A and B are shown apart, each in its own frame.
Chain A
Amino acid sequence: MVTRRSALLLPLILLAGCELFTVSPFPGFVDKTDISIDLGSRVDAITGGASPVTYDLEVVDTAGLSPRVLLLVEPPSSDPSLGFNYKGKLIFMDQDLNVLGTAGTPTTLDYFSRPYAYAHDGNVLTGYMVLSPNGGATSVGSLNPPPPLGGFAFIVPTGPYTYVFATPAGQYGSFDLNYTIYNNPTWTIVTQGALAIIPSASRPSTSDPNYANLGYQLLGLSYDSATDEITFVFSEPAQGRILAARMTGAAATTGTAVLLPGAPSWPVGAGAWPLAVTVDRPQLSADAGGIFMVQRDGWMTRYTWTPTGALAWLGSPLQIVGDRSLSRHYAFLIPQTAGLNQYMYRFDPASRILTRYRRWW
């Protein structure tokens, strides 16, 4: 039976099918808005009204565990009398944005940073600190020596292990990645080393005055336990492009491996990389299925790659107009546990509102 509502909607839907009528200056995910919470009072409680406040929004997930949404709130950390005096807090929420807890650092000299990930012991690795999934302290506490910071971590089930990859500390861009592998409840370091991105002979001269700014930034990383393949996603700022390459976990952690051994010279031609897309320094999130990019031109793009085998794009990228500003923080949940919903999270620093959206991709 055709209801009046459906009779009215039908012509509108048909009209909507015409592309000219579907364009909009508003983000295309607005109609996917699902849950929205105002974290203003929690943020104020953390910052005490101090400004400016910096934020980071992360989602941690692994098969068999409940995803967590982490919002890092960092008020100014410099104190006239104490010097560095870290006051940042990490708000732990479940995927439905119920606040589970708020974590601080053991001392004001400690700080939160990437990587944020579930670890092999079921806790959450936040930089060099190991916290419970609700933000509580663990017996592990802080890792010493710390893992590579600013990068990404994932669980390798065989072991199980926690792998951490990052560019060397303090480098804007690099030609190497450092890694550390942990296992056991005591977080024993199994191995650590470096993974060269391109051969040493292919790199620019270290005498190049811009050498420190050249190289690659690790923007995202995903791990496919079925194939033991790690997909690395880099930004190459000097070329204004995104590059992706893939290597097995075993090969990447030999200590002598080169991600692109055949690269003739820097910059590596786009054709020499397994995948490249020209885009300028986006916010990027990688997962086993592909990448999300929040671009500076206002587009939000989803690229997917073939789940197994050679690294390749799968189909055409899906684009959607997002915020035309990178002042917001986005995180994506692609649950590694089959059957769960996929979400996008968006935090607006101006309003301190965190919103969950249903999948638009």
Chain B
Amino acid sequence: MRKRALLVSLLAILPTLLFAADQARTAALFIVPLSAGAADPLVEDIIATGLGTTLQNAGIAVAPGRLALGTGPQQPRLPDEERVSYLLRGVNAAGANVVVAAFYLVQGDTLIIQFALYDPTVRTMLGGVLTTARKGLTLFDSVSEAVKQFEPAIQRYVRGGYQVEPPTGIVERIEVSGPPEGSSVVLLDREAGKIAGGVLVVPYTQFEIGSTIPVRVHKDGYHSFSGTYKLDSPQVSIRLPPLRPETRFDADLAWSFGEAMGVGIGGRIHIIPDSLFLGVEAYRSLDVNSISTTLVRHYDTNAQLGTYIIFPYTSIFRLHISLGLGVIVTNVAGLGGRDYLDWYILAGDPTAELALGPVKVFFRPELHYALGVDYNLLGRTWIRTPFGIPPLTIGVRKSW
């Protein structure tokens, strides 16, 4: 008897409990024009009324909200599911159980509405409808009809047809670090954001654990970096190497065996950073045998176009070659008249370069072919020391 009374009592209060549970659901409602500055209060009012009524009929309290869309040069377009999802991830649901959004676009007499039902807790789209209505006298009916098309999705949510289950096998968070501040990170072919505070948390995108994605990082003044990374856990931290600054300029200090009583300076401008460059060098030397007799000065100046070969800019050892034109002016102290002019061609100047911290050390044989024109000393020949080898130059280079 007591059991039956208890059962009757439970059956009596069940609807109340169920109703109370339904009443606990709240929805954040967002109505958003897709075209910036094209908000239509009438459309928004009708949509809000229709959606609000439908939600309340389903036992869901409505908390209106505002969602701003970014503006850009693109023509207004309907958001695809991914974009809608991306937008909705950023909304402040203020504790609501569900986000209901209506994106609308007025194009002439046509009203296009994208309804979306989104679970902010698990960042999942629960449903959506793309409808087309007519604007004008039938606007109210058209919007009502559109809302009706969205109603089944709401009903499915209320009935529990949707099971909130945390996704499995999906990467939840991707964090990128390493590159300098302000570096742009591109995952797949989409800009994911910029490094700030040393890190970038990639906006949520569904990637399966185990998938491999290409990552590219770029920043003005730096060499971009590309690589592929495997997303092997729900929480992925991608540590990228720091970007290397692009070399725009070099300054050299050099000394040549073969012109020992001298020193050279040089400068280069990189047309293509760390690859193709224009350079100017000047070497001033004294004829060593002339120090105690008649002083002989040599002024060696050349201009060159060069390129790095074989080894990439990331290598600490690199090679570059150059072609160019130069002239050595030889002045004999106390001798009136003309100075000697030895014009020459830079025929390669293969240079080995070793990066040692902030500076680079380089070494090269001076492959210069004297042209034997004008009033010259050397004639038409390769410029070389008495040992038959060309002058050998070592130097240091600072790049920036």
A interface vs B, CB < 8 Å? 9, 12-13, 15-16, 20-28, 30-34, 36-38, 298-299, 319, 321, 323-325, 327-328, 348, 350-351, 353
Contact = CB atoms under 8 A, between A and B. Distances in A.
A350 B287 CA distance: 24
B287 A24 contact: yes
B330 A30 contact: yes
A6 to B, nearest CB: 10
Contacts of B358: none
Q: How large is the interface on B (under 10, 10 to 19, 20 to 34, 35 or more residues)?
A: 35 or more
Given A20-B260, A325-B381, 18 more contacts: A12-B261, A16-B288, A16-B291, A21-B260, A23-B385, A24-B289, A25-B385, A25-B390, A26-B287, A30-B296, A30-B377, A31-B293, A32-B294, A323-B379, A324-B384, A328-B379, A350-B376, A353-B375
Given A12-B261, A25-B384, A32 B293 contact: yes
A9 B292 contact: yes
Contact of B379 (A299, A325, A353): A325
B378 A25 contact: yes
30 contacts: A9-B291, A12-B261, A12-B286, A23-B260, A24-B287, A24-B289, A25-B391, A26-B287, A26-B296, A26-B378, A27-B377, A31-B294, A31-B295, A32-B293, A32-B294, A33-B294, A36-B335, A36-B337, A38-B338, A298-B384, A298-B386, A299-B386, A323-B378, A324-B384, A325-B372, A348-B375, A350-B374, A350-B375, A351-B374, A351-B375
Contact of B335 (A13, A28, A33): A33
B350 interface: no
B294 A28 contact: no
Nearest to B257: A20
Nearest to B368: A25
B172 interface: no
Nearest to A352: B375
Nearest to B292: A13
B338 A30 contact: no
B361 to A, nearest CB: 20
Interface in B292-348: 292-296, 298, 330, 332, 335-338, 340
Given A13-B291, A33-B335, A24 B374 contact: no
Contact of A23 (B257, B294, B332, B378): B257
Nearest to B366: A25
B281 interface: no
B373 interface: yes
Given A16-B289, A31-B290, A21 B261 contact: yes
B264 interface: no
B246 interface: no
Nearest to B386: A321
A15 B261 CA distance: 9
Interface string B258-274: 11110000000000000
* Closest A-B pairs by Cβ, 10 of them: A325-B379, A31-B290, A351-B375, A324-B381, A21-B260, A33-B332, A23-B385, A16-B288, A323-B379, A25-B383
Contacts of A328: 379
Contact of B289 (A15, A20, A28, A325): A28
B210 to A, nearest CB: 63
A30 B332 contact: yes
B400 interface: no
Nearest to A30: B296
A191 B291 CA distance: 54
A278 to B, nearest CB: 16
A98 B129 CA distance: 108
Contacts of A353: 337-338, 375
Of A20, A25, A328, A353, most buried by chain B (CB within 10 Å of CB) is: A25
A16 B296 CA distance: 14
A27 B376 CA distance: 11
B257 A31 contact: no
Nearest to B373: A350
Nearest to B295: A31
Contacts of A348: 375-376
Nearest to B387: A23
A244 to B, nearest CB: 25
B66 interface: no
A26 B387 contact: no
B290 A30 contact: yes
A24 B259 contact: yes
B290 to A, nearest CB: 3
Given A27-B377, A324-B381, A328-B379, A22 B289 contact: yes
Contacts of B340: 30
Contacts of B257: 20, 23
